[in-house]
Amino acid sequence: MSTETATDFTWNYAPAPEAKDHAKIKKQYDLFINGEWVKPSSKKYYNTISPSTEEVLSSVAEANEKDVDLAVKAARNAYEKVWKKMPAKERAKYIFRIARMIQERSRELAVIETMNGGKSIRESRDFDVPTAANHFFYYAGWADKLEYAFPNRNPKSLGVAAQIIPWNFPLLMAAWKIAPALATGNTVVLKPAESTPLTALKLAEIIQDCDLPPGVVNIITGFGKTGAAMVNHPDVNKIAFTGSTDVGKIIQKSIAGTNKKVTLELGGKAANIIFDDAPINQAVEGIINGIFFNQGHVCCAGSRLFVQESVAEEVIQKLKSRMETLIVGDPMDKNTDVGAINSKEQLLKINEYLQIGTNEGLELFQTSCKVPAKGFFCKPSLFIGAAQSNRVVQEEIFGPVLTIQTFRTIEEVIEKANNIPYGLSAGVWTDKGSKIFNLTSKMRAGVVWANTYNKFDPTSPFGGYKESGFGREGGLHGLMPYLSF
């Protein structure tokens, strides 16, 4: 017997895979229109895969203009005949029911979210699904209190909302869109992203089980063309889009001259600023959480790190060491920190940016982890010694790639942080309260986190400045885009 154990104890965590047998995925999904599953008039279906294994999970319908028209008509009909007339407190009950049903099926939703989207089960289980349920709970509470939210302004619903959501938080984005729309008395046609339709379709099943009046929520699948048809449909009153800035600009052009209201939540390139008086170890954690959360597929990801010169060396050393402890791989494993990149196209785009940064002469650091041979994976990456003019600093990469710049003075960092076409979010790390207030008031960003990062709550509004879009989602402010006064 000995008391001394080996000094280099390696402790690879044994696989701890989440079971998937309870997750029911149909072989084929039709369009959810007017409370029923309807075959697409295009007769076309396409496969949706798991980005971590590349296996086909299901095939889903591709909606064409006719299908979009059918969905909008169903929504219009439900709006005029049922939803508009329903007492607000009755509407609220339905929304509560959806929230509770999401909670009841949270495990299945989390598993499907991870299978279809590639994000780690830890995140879909602990963040995506509970936050989605919370959004429904929160907005259910507002439904019969709109007069109190906007006193003397006589808030009225708009009609039919066309909602197009991205692939990074498929279920959560659906909740962000549907919950306030229903609470304010609108009906909905929602299109999930082409690569991640499954949890939205699961939500359609939940909505069916909740006995929501037919046509109040319609969920249709398809590609960009389907989305364009939704945007251009003459009977749509409101467009809510979350996605890329390029598409946002197209939407903006195509609705010019119409009466459609619009909210756009677009790209971002957030500055995460670390001062020398910050709690450095927690700041390092915040950097990790800011950029590697959801593989960096977060519009508000803290992708531009600004570190005060005097602590730069220390922060970079600690950051590298911390990155080495990230577990990259099978997203279904409960211990995985960083899962799969959402699609092959996205992985190619990220790899292209890694090449661009290297060609620009930046020092690239990647963790020494092994990534699975199958599926789309990217090692957590850092570009050290970046400058404001580097393309990897200016353009949104939407992947686990962080650029590091240093600064000396507070004026300098404010100027650099704001010197970007985007303005969605920012982070600031310092122990000094006055510095936080000084800086946050000067940041041109919709959300500024102090001594934390990537925190979301249904009660808190979210949205951007400049090319990051306009309109707010979440909180009291999130009701306004769905109301006329």
Partner 1 sequence: MKADLRNSPVVDQVGIEERVARFNTRSLKKQTKVNGLKLALSMIDLTTLEGKDTEGKVKQMCYKAIHPYDDIAGLPSVAAVCVYPKYVKTAKQALEGSTVKVASVATAFPSGNSTLEIKISDTKFAVDNGADEIDMVISRGEFLKGNYNFVFDEIAAIKEACGKARLKVILETGELSTLDNVRYASDIAIHAGADFIKTSTGKIQPAATMPVTLVMLEAIKDYYFKTGIMIGMKPAGGISTAKSSLQYLVMVYETLGPKWMSNQWFRFGASSLANDIILQLAKEKNGVYFSKDYISID
Q: Could you write out the DSSP letters of every residue in 114-166?
A: HHHH---HHHIIIIIHHHHHHHHHHHHHHGGGHHHHSTTS--EE-SEEEEE--
Active site residue 62: no
* Residue 146 CA from chain centroid, whole number: 27
Kindly write down the DSSP assignment for every residue of 368-404, as one continuous string. -----SSS-----EEEES--TT-HHHHS---SSEEEE
What's the CA gap between 392 and 397, in Å, rounded? 7
Contact 419, 291 (CB under 8 A): no
Segment interacting with partner 1 (CB under 8 A) among 222-230, 231-239, 314-322, 342-350: 314-322
Helix (H) or strand (E) holding 274: strand 271-274
Q: Is 4 in the site for partner 1 (CB under 8 A)?
A: yes
Q: Whole-angstrom Cα distance, residue 447 to residue 211?
A: 37
Least separation, in Å, of the C-beta of 451 and partner 1? Answer: 6
Looking at residue 296, what DSSP letter applies?
G
330-349: which residues touch partner 1 (CB under 8 A)?
Answer: 334-335
What number of CA atoms fall less than 13 Å from residue 354's CA on the CB side?
17
By C-beta, is 281 or 358 nearer to partner 1?
A: 281
Question: Does residue 152 bind partner 1 (CB under 8 A)?
Answer: no
Cβ proximity to partner 1: between 4 and 21 the closer is: 4
Q: Is residue 431 a contact residue for partner 1 (CB under 8 A)?
A: yes
DSSP label of 18:
P
Establish if 16 lies at the interface with partner 1 (CB under 8 A): yes
Q: Does 378 qualify as catalytic in the annotation? A: no
Q: Is 457 in the site for partner 1 (CB under 8 A)?
A: no
Catalytic residue among 62, 299, 396, 467: 299
Q: Considering only CA atoms, which of 122, 19, 49, 48 is closest in space to residue 339?
A: 122
Give the shortest CB-303-to-partner 1 separation in angstroms: 20
Residue 480, token pair as written in the block: 């306004």
Nearest distance in Å: CB 332, partner 1: 12
Query: Contact with partner 1 (CB under 8 A): which of 154, 325, 355, 419?
Result: 325
| Binding status of residue 451 toward partner 1 by CB under 8 A | yes
Rounded least distance, CB 317 to partner 1, Å: 6
Q: Which of residues 117-136 bind partner 1 (CB under 8 A)?
A: 122, 126
- The contact set with partner 1 (CB under 8 A) reads 1-16, 122, 126, 277-283, 285-286, 314, 317-318, 325, 334-335, 431, 451-452
State the catalytic residues.
265, 299
